[in-house]
Chains A and B, each alone.
Chain A
Amino acid sequence: MADIKEIIGKVCPDAIFEENEKPFAVVPDRDWHKVAEALKQSGYDWLNAVVGEDWGDEMGCIYYMSSSSDGAEVSVKVATADRENPMLHSVSDLWDCARLEEREVFDFFGIKFINHPDMRRFYLRNDWVGYPLRKDYDENPDINPVRLYHEQPDDVSVTYKEEADGSVKEEKVQVFAPEEFVVNIGPQHPATHGVLRFRTSLNGEEIKKIDLVCGYIHRGIEKLCEKLTYPQCIHFFDRQDYFSALMNEHCFCMCVEKALGLEVPRRAQVIRVMMDELSRIASHLLFFGTYCMDLGATTALFYGIRERETILDILEETCGARMTFNYNVVGGVREDIHPNFVKRVKDFIAIMPSRLKEYHTLVTGNVIFKNRLKGVGILSRKDAISYGVAGPSGRASGWACDVRKLKPYSIYGELDFDEVVMDGCDSFDRYLVRMKEIEQSLRILEQLVDNIPDGDYCAKAPKIIKLPAGHWFQEVEACRGVFGVYIDSKGDKTPYRVKINGTCLRLAGVVDHITRGSKIADLITIGGSMDYVVPDIDR
């Protein structure tokens, strides 16, 4: 791959390159679209994250891009000094996932994206006053009280079109035409896995278009983190994607450790990886249960939860909680493993293969189940990359996107396991990838359970953790895909900005694309196969 300075320098001679953990360039807004195009063409075709930030004197975004085949990374900062009417150029025509990510930035910072097709609020009500993640946001509850009347659905959106002479014109765009038949699904619906809302336009029984409405569980974690010290932030990471709680904590702790330059003892690394894999199995088991229940097979839920409870017992003994563990700390883990831990994990590894066989006999081979899943919700590899759908759902589309293999972190580089990649691209393969990942996780556990080294379970971290000035980005493979944490520090005890790059926003964002033209009953099948967790979308 050509040098980044060369690629960017060719289209934008004004670009400034700064020293950072990842290649980092500052690009003026007028050249940003050209730079993005050049980067995409030279192989950086996966948009990992769009981080909006208010630096005080200017506002803007940092875009993290990487190569979908070898994981090479690049980050680009684009900013504007205009606080009254901030505008940046959109890259939503290059990456489909940028469409929602940029709407999120608009919602939190008020930055308008030129040439973005649909510039509406995303998480907050459309009558919300102010942009909460700006540093000068007024949090007075009188300005934004709990409004108990329903907001009007905004069927008219705006777009900012750039003319040939460089001026920007505001245009109205219809989300749904007045004659369209729009059915509301959610936020209170048993099959949306939480409080997600789809406004679905139908043509008879076929889906024409879906408008995703989020924010029904938006808790403002990113803003809350800015007021807390680093160790105090960790518990919020349990409460987003509560199935990958331990991975999310792991990610945040790794990001802080990277900034501190702290070495984590080997014992802590092994414990962390074992906990990650145990929760991955637990998460996929719950997916198996709830997915089958969505499709009408209630019994499978009881089977899935039965094994999940076994894992929760193991985790509870060591971590002290069933779901929200707060187990990882900066430098290692909070407590050493329980004396029973090794024995119970061994017992679990011994019974699990037979249980998997049971699931396959009960569900996987079932004709009705197969017919409902096979060929439903086709997501091609190209679209998966463009929409940023990583994780098991991306791997079912033939995209080898496992961060554990692509950019190995912790001790994953030394472990022997296979990355499950299938190329059916449909719901059935997305289901099967997860079932096969359980086997791989068991393999990892098998290798580690007898080899937990002696030593400290936590490194000596400073009592008051102060990060040096700078910004860092760390990714891990969570249960549903790539989970990233961005920390910007000004050298204080508290982070200046924390961006949580959840996996599920992209999973929910692609639903509109892959349901078009299919029957409304398949919406449940497709949505379920994506396995999104709504608090992770909304944060």
Chain B
Amino acid sequence: MEVKIKGMKKEDFKDNEYIDKLVDELKQSGQNVVVGKLDQLINWGRSNSLWPLTFATSCCGIEFICLGCARYDMARFGFEVARSSPRQADFMMVAGTIVHRMAPVFRRLYEQLAEPKYVIAVGGCAVSGGPFRKSYHVVKGIDTVVPVDVYIPGCPPRPEAMFYGMMQLQRKVKVERFFGGVNRKKTREDFFKENPLIAEEEHVKE
């Protein structure tokens, strides 16, 4: 089993070890032939029609608009159209800074996304706080609030860099098992287990 992405060769990606490791894990756990084939078919479909949520707080959002327009045109790779409602989107491009006041809103948006859901952290601010890391009102990386699948550094990242990150997400989707033990769901549970304070505080208040 090999992960293939239309339009970009394997050797053009820079971090193949990670994906190879995931493939190995999948192979080791053994696979039913029928279910495995079904998995591949479904993942092929899913990875080629990932719809992003329009979620832009600052500068990176404008580069995201450019991504949707004629010159870069993300529809070519299957990111057909950006949806404004989390109910209709598959993944979230967190384009911009997340600040203290936005954090609960952002978390709610994440929870409103339908399963299976993914998060891409776009730009320095979303990855780590970026240039505003030392501020009193900025969340130092969105991975303290929600689990993140792909990080795209840059301030803002060029549209090409965004494509690279989005294709990495496609590769990740392709090595998932949709039937049976969905290995992704477990990591998300782990995340909330590791960050119990967040969940607890929210639970108490609501």
A binds B: yes
Interface of A toward B, CB cutoff 8 Å:
123-125, 132, 137, 139, 144, 146-151, 187-190, 194-195, 215-221, 223-224, 227, 235-236, 238-239, 242-243, 286, 290, 301-302, 305-306, 309, 322-324, 534-535
Closest to B125 in A: A219
Are A242 and B99 closer than 8 Å at their CB atoms?
no
What would be 15 A-B contacts, judged by CB atoms less than 8 Å apart?
A124-B100, A146-B103, A148-B104, A149-B202, A149-B205, A149-B206, A188-B55, A188-B109, A216-B99, A217-B97, A219-B99, A224-B132, A290-B65, A305-B66, A534-B57
Are B109 and A194 closer than 8 Å at their CB atoms?
no
What sequence of 0s and 1s flags, for each residue 99-127 of chain B, a beta carbon within 8 Å of any chain A beta carbon? 11111110111000000000000000000
Are B136 and A223 closer than 8 Å at their CB atoms?
yes
New A-B contacts (15) at CB < 8 Å, excluding given A242-B62, A302-B69, A322-B158: A124-B137, A132-B137, A148-B104, A149-B104, A149-B201, A190-B54, A195-B57, A216-B57, A216-B102, A220-B137, A290-B65, A301-B65, A309-B69, A323-B62, A323-B156
Across-interface contacts of A218 in B (CB, < 8 A) = 99, 101, 137
Is B8 located at the chain interface by the 8 A CB criterion?
Answer: no
Across-interface contacts of B55 in A (CB, < 8 A) = 188
Are A219 and B145 closer than 8 Å at their CB atoms?
no
Cα A183 to Cα B54 in complex, Å, equals 21
Are A220 and B132 closer than 8 Å at their CB atoms?
yes
Are B136 and A220 closer than 8 Å at their CB atoms?
yes
Q: Count the A-B residue pairs with Cβ separation under 8 angstroms: how many?
A: 134
B49, chain A: closest CB distance, angstroms: 20
Nearest 4 Cβ contacts at the A-B interface: A149-B205, A220-B135, A305-B69, A190-B84
Cα A356 to Cα B23 in complex, Å, equals 53
Is B1 located at the chain interface by the 8 A CB criterion?
Answer: no
Cα A323 to Cα B67 in complex, Å, equals 14
Are B63 and A148 closer than 8 Å at their CB atoms?
no
Is B88 located at the chain interface by the 8 A CB criterion?
Answer: no
Are B101 and A125 closer than 8 Å at their CB atoms?
yes
Closest to A308 in B: B66
A237, chain B: closest CB distance, angstroms: 12
Interface of B toward A, CB cutoff 8 Å:
54-59, 61-63, 65-66, 69-71, 84, 96-97, 99-105, 107-109, 131-132, 134-139, 144-145, 155-156, 158, 198, 201-202, 204-206
Are B59 and A147 closer than 8 Å at their CB atoms?
no
Are B59 and A535 closer than 8 Å at their CB atoms?
yes
Across-interface contacts of B202 in A (CB, < 8 A) = 148-149
Cα A305 to Cα B136 in complex, Å, equals 35
Q: With A148-B103, A218-B99, A220-B135 known to touch, is A194 a contact of B65 (CB < 8 Å)?
A: no
A524, chain B: closest CB distance, angstroms: 13
Across-interface contacts of A148 in B (CB, < 8 A) = 103-104, 107, 145, 198, 201-202
Closest to A309 in B: B71
B161, chain A: closest CB distance, angstroms: 11
Across-interface contacts of B108 in A (CB, < 8 A) = 150
Cα A425 to Cα B188 in complex, Å, equals 53
Closest to B198 in A: A148
Cα A534 to Cα B57 in complex, Å, equals 8
Cα A290 to Cα B61 in complex, Å, equals 13
- Which residue of the partner chain, among B61, B65, B101, B145, contacts A216 with CB atoms under 8 Å? B101
Cα A125 to Cα B57 in complex, Å, equals 18
Across-interface contacts of A322 in B (CB, < 8 A) = 63, 156, 158
Q: With A149-B206, A188-B55 known to touch, is A324 a contact of B156 (CB < 8 Å)?
A: yes
Are B58 and A187 closer than 8 Å at their CB atoms?
no
Across-interface contacts of A302 in B (CB, < 8 A) = 69-70
Across-interface contacts of A236 in B (CB, < 8 A) = 131
Across-interface contacts of B138 in A (CB, < 8 A) = 219-220
- Which residue of the partner chain, among B59, B145, B204, contacts A323 with CB atoms under 8 Å? B59
Across-interface contacts of B99 in A (CB, < 8 A) = 215-219
Across-interface contacts of B102 in A (CB, < 8 A) = 187, 195, 216-217
Are A194 and B100 closer than 8 Å at their CB atoms?
no
Across-interface contacts of A224 in B (CB, < 8 A) = 132, 134-135
A236, chain B: closest CB distance, angstroms: 7
Are B56 and A194 closer than 8 Å at their CB atoms?
yes
Cα A220 to Cα B125 in complex, Å, equals 13
Across-interface contacts of B206 in A (CB, < 8 A) = 149-150
Across-interface contacts of A189 in B (CB, < 8 A) = 84
Cα A308 to Cα B119 in complex, Å, equals 29
B85, chain A: closest CB distance, angstroms: 9
Closest to A138 in B: B136
Are B103 and A147 closer than 8 Å at their CB atoms?
yes
Q: With A147-B100, A148-B201 known to touch, is A217 a contact of B57 (CB < 8 Å)?
A: yes
Are A323 and B63 closer than 8 Å at their CB atoms?
yes
Closest to B66 in A: A305
Across-interface contacts of B70 in A (CB, < 8 A) = 302, 305-306
B51, chain A: closest CB distance, angstroms: 14
Q: With A239-B131, A301-B69, A323-B156 known to touch, is A216 a contact of B105 (CB < 8 Å)?
A: yes
Cα A147 to Cα B66 in complex, Å, equals 33
